[in-house]
Amino acid sequence: VSDAENWFCECPKLYSGRLCQFMTCDENPCGNGATCFPKSRRDAVCLCPYGRSGILCSDAINISQPSFSGTDVFGYTSFLAYSTIPNITFYYEFHLKFQLANHHSALQDNLIFFTGQKGQGLNGDDFLELGLRDGRIVYSYNLGSGTATIISKPLDLTLNIHVIHLGRYLQKGWLKVDDQKNKTVTSPGRLVGLNVFSQFYLGGYREYTPELLPKGSRFKNGFQGCIFDVQVRTSINQEFKSPGTPEGHPNSGRNVGQCKDSPCNLIKCRNGGKCIESGSTVYCECLTGWKGAFCTETVSVCEPEHNPPHLCKQGSTCVPLPNGYTCHCPLGTTGTYCEQG
């Protein structure tokens, strides 16, 4: 946009500066490798990595029973990623327990775990996954010649903790949920080996959107609640072990809290601000007129976040007054808002 000598950029949301070159997350305030997400032009939210919590992810937390928060308002899922599970090709068995955060959204369409190839091969690429859909457990795998799926009966919601056992030998898979009957399936086609190279994802997925998961395994949201005691073995005479190298240790994660802990207990939002938590991530949502990490700073009448915005025309300078503001006009313009030539 230009008027004679005075040109300026009209910046899209979340950008600022004469060339719109600054983004809230450029001067990334988040610590410890957190994902920075711009909440407004001046405020960022830090999506904390595994083992960290707090507004800037500076607090270390000990996680023995991970809690997952599903898909947050920014579109990211909370997840843990473990190293690839070795020797899973022909045989595997998994045990795990989980607790739902709520009965409404936590039963809609949520990923519990996934490992697989990410492409969309002819018959779909090899993958193994487990999730919740409409209150039932869904277990699917594809050995490369088509997808096999077992769907449980609806979960008994009077149970506080649910227990899942599942397995596969060559093409034949089985699933047992709580005290429901064991269900079996045989995968189509002729292939008998599961070839997966990805990490083992628990509760969600690293990528921005689970839409990137292979066809036939589209769970839109991450898990909401706690998942614990995940155990796996890849031969019938082996002991069950926790995934990860070293055992039980994830390689990475995002937004994972400790079950039953609330990060909002540790911080105080001021001036009517509301504490919002999502896994280990926590931030203050401020009432109109306030800003800053804890809603302690007032929004000046001249700032872009102010509601309503000031009316000084571009190129002029807004100057706050005790009650209201005035516009300082550049050469060649006049009027209350510098709107006249």
Q: Is the peptide bond before 154 cis (omega within 30 degrees of 0)?
A: no
Q: Are residues 310 and 277 in the same domain?
A: no
Q: Are residues 128 and 188 in the same domain?
A: yes
At 16, the amino acid letter reads S
Confidence at 292, pLDDT banded by 50, 70, 90: confident
Say if residue 41's pLDDT is above 80.
Answer: no
Provide the pLDDT for residue 121: 47
- Lookup result for tokens 């429901």: 180
Q: Are residues 103 and 209 in the same domain?
A: yes
Whether residue 23 lies inside any domain: the answer is: no
φ, ψ for residue 317, nearest 5 deg? -110, 130
Q: Are residues 240 and 156 in the same domain?
A: yes
Provide the pLDDT for residue 202: 94
Residue 15 is inside which H or E element, if any?
strand 15-16
Q: Are residues 122 and 244 in the same domain?
A: yes
Q: Are residues 246 and 330 in the same domain?
A: no
Region 205-222: mean pLDDT is 68
Number of domains in the chain: 3
Q: Are residues 113 and 207 in the same domain?
A: yes
Say if residue 5's pLDDT is above 60.
Answer: no
Task: Name the more confident of 335 and 262.
Answer: 335
Confidence at 304, pLDDT banded by 50, 70, 90: confident
Provide the pLDDT for residue 174: 97
Provide the pLDDT for residue 57: 87
Whether residue 18 lies inside any domain: the answer is: no
Whether residue 63 lies inside any domain: the answer is: no
Contacts 24+ apart (CB under 8 A), 185-188: 185/148, 185/149, 185/150, 186/148, 187/141, 187/142, 187/143, 187/145, 187/146, 187/147, 187/148, 188/145, 188/146, 188/147, 188/148
**CATH code of the domain containing 189:** 2.60.120.200
Name which of 212, 243, 256, 217 is nearest 51 in CA terms: 256
3-state secondary structure 37-52: EECCCCCEEEECECCE
Say if residue 40's pLDDT is above 50.
Answer: yes
Distance CA 278, CA 333 (A): 49
Say if residue 215's pLDDT is above 80.
Answer: no
Q: Are residues 117 and 193 in the same domain?
A: yes
Task: Name the more confident of 294 and 149.
Answer: 149
Q: Are residues 49 and 196 in the same domain?
A: no
Whether residue 7 lies inside any domain: the answer is: no
Whether residue 214 lies inside any domain: the answer is: yes
Provide the domain limits for residue 314. 306-340
Say if residue 14's pLDDT is above 60.
Answer: no
Region 107-131: mean pLDDT is 79
Range from 155-164, 220-229, 306-315 carrying the lowest mean pLDDT: 306-315
Whether residue 164 lies inside any domain: the answer is: yes
Is the distance from CB of 118 to CB of 206 less than 8 angstroms?
no
Provide the pLDDT for residue 188: 93
Is the distance from CB of 260 to CB of 161 less than 8 angstroms?
no
Q: Are residues 233 and 275 in the same domain?
A: no
Q: Please report, rounded to a whole number, the percentage of residues in the chain having pLDDT higher than 90.
A: 42
Whether residue 20 lies inside any domain: the answer is: no
**CATH code of the domain containing 329:** 2.10.25.10
Distance CA 313, CA 266 (A): 43
For 249-278, the pLDDT digits (tens) are: 999 999 898 888 777 877 888 899 998 877
Provide the pLDDT for residue 118: 64
Say if residue 95's pLDDT is above 70.
Answer: yes
Whether residue 16 lies inside any domain: the answer is: no
Q: Are residues 335 and 249 in the same domain?
A: no
How many residues does this entry show for the chain? 341
Region 52-73: mean pLDDT is 86
Average pLDDT, the chain: 84
Say if residue 138's pLDDT is above 90.
Answer: yes
Say if residue 117's pLDDT is above 80.
Answer: no
Distance CA 260, CA 225 (A): 9
Q: Are residues 109 and 179 in the same domain?
A: yes
Provide the pLDDT for residue 263: 73
